[in-house]
Structure formats: C-alpha cells, structure tokens
C-alpha cells in the first residue's frame, strides 16, 4: 500500500515529536503493509506550522530517510505537505512555497472544519487555476460535507480528488465523521484512504486493518 497522508517528519507539527516517534511510525507502516508513504507536515498555518518549501524542510526529510535506511526499515518516504487553505494559496503555489505530493501536481489541502462551502469551492478553483489537482484531506470531517455529502460530488466534478481518514471509518473522529465517511464510500466519492498518522501510539501508520475492513 501507499499512504498519502502522514505526519511522520519529527518536530515540525503535532505529529512525530522526535526521531524515535518517526521510526516507530515507519516500523508500523511496514508492519501494516505500507511500502511507500508521503510525509505531509502541516503547512501554511501562519504563526503555528508554516513549514514552507525550502532547505529547512528538505533537511528534516533527508535526515529521516537516512535514519530509516540506517535502521534497515524497508520503507520509502516521499515529501509533500498538508496545506492549510488560505486566501493567498494561489500566490504561494506560484511562488513555490507550497508543493504537491512528491513534487507532483497533486496538492493535499485541508480546510477549517467549520469552513463555509462557498469558500472551499473558491479555494479549490484557485488551486485548479494553477494547473494543480487538489486532493481534499478528510472531507468527512468538515461540517458542510457532513450536512450535505453531495458537495463532494460537485468538487470531484470540478476535477478534485478526495482522501478520507482511516480513523473515520472506525468512528474515531465521532459519529458525524463516521456516518459521512460511509456515505461517501457507498457513493464512490472517495479517491483514497490514508492514515493521517500522528504518533506510534494513536492515529498510527498501520493500515492492514482498514484494508481488510474495506
């Protein structure tokens, strides 16, 4: 399996806090059947988790891959971001501050859980206007999608993709996210399922259970 959404890079956000956490996540990924994952630290959260593209982010990524290789963990890590939506997201993409998954045209983007549907649609259009493809992170956790799941159908028609969290399918983010995740799955509105892993103890990279469940 390939896991497209993880917070494995140590010390950058509310995910892995140190290299031990990161290696624990790497080991669990392999144990659960994942051979490649994308490190997607929270990015573009001004004043909190900015993590824009540059030498600092690249150095943390390279150090992690070095340590994984040194421990002989058979896992390939690619670099990406979980990009927090903003009014200037188009400008930041064009200026190279924000990157896609493995530097491709697929941009993992998240929104505030209580965000208005109209603003989400406008932000997605801005990303599409850049020639990029939004991969909407955990739409089942957004209140507007929980209330009107057909919104995701409209965004997919625009050219977007969707990623739901493993934990949502098991009810770990509450009843509303659980219900929305299953409605989206039943209506074939889910492009992929990812771990959105944060630690080796909770919200882990282990994916075998959700693969069997699906």
- Other beta carbons within 10 angstroms of residue 67's beta carbon come to 16
213 CA to centre of own chain:
20
- pLDDT at 150 (0 to 100): 97
- pLDDT at 200 (0 to 100): 96
**171's tokens:** 């009810």
CB–CB of 15/5 below 8 Å?
Answer: no
CB–CB of 194/165 below 8 Å?
Answer: yes
- pLDDT at 193 (0 to 100): 98
Separation between Cα atoms, residue 11 and residue 155, nearest integer Å: 33
Element (H, E) at 27: helix 19-31
Could you give the maximum distance between any two Cα atoms of the chain, in Å? Answer: 48
Taking 70 as the pLDDT cut, the residues of the chain under it are none
- pLDDT at 40 (0 to 100): 98
Q: Encode burial over 96-108: b for 16+ CB neighbours within 10 A, e otherwise.
A: ebbbbbeeeebbb
- pLDDT at 118 (0 to 100): 96
Query: Which residues in 53-175 belong to E strands, given as ranges?
Result: 76-79, 82-84, 106-110, 133-137, 161-165
- pLDDT at 15 (0 to 100): 97
- pLDDT at 3 (0 to 100): 98
CB–CB of 204/26 below 8 Å?
Answer: no
Please state the pTM of the whole predicted model.
0.97
Q: Could you read off the pLDDT of 16-74 as tens digits, one per residue?
A: 999 999 999 999 999 999 999 999 999 999 999 999 999 999 999 999 999 999 999 99
CB–CB of 72/88 below 8 Å?
Answer: no
């Amino acid at each position: 399996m390939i896991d497209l959404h993880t917070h494995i890079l140590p010390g950058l956000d509310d995910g892995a806090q140190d290299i031990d956490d990161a290696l624990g996540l790497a080991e669990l990924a392999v144990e659960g059947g994942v051979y490649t994952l994308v490190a997607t630290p929270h990015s573009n959260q001004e004043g909190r988790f900015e993590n824009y593209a540059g030498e600092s982010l690249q150095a943390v990524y390279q150090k992690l891959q070095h340590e994984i290789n040194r421990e002989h963990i058979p896992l390939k890590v690619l670099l990406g971001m979980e990009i927090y939506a903003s009014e200037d997201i188009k400008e930041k993409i064009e200026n190279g501050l924000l990157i896609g998954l493995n530097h491709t045209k697929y941009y993992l983007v998240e929104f505030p859980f209580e965000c208005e549907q109209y603003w989400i649609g406008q932000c997605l259009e801005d990303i599409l206007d850049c020639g990029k493809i939004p991969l909407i992170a955990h739409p089942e956790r957004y209140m507007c999608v929980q209330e009107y799941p057909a919104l995701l159908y409209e965004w997919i028609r625009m050219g977007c993709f969707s990623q739901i969290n493993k934990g949502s399918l098991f009810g770990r983010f509450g009843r509303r996210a659980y219900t929305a995740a299953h409605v989206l799955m039943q209506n074939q509105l889910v492009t992929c399922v990812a771990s959105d892993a944060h630690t080796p103890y909770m919200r882990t990279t282990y994916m075998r259970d959700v693969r069997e469940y699906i």
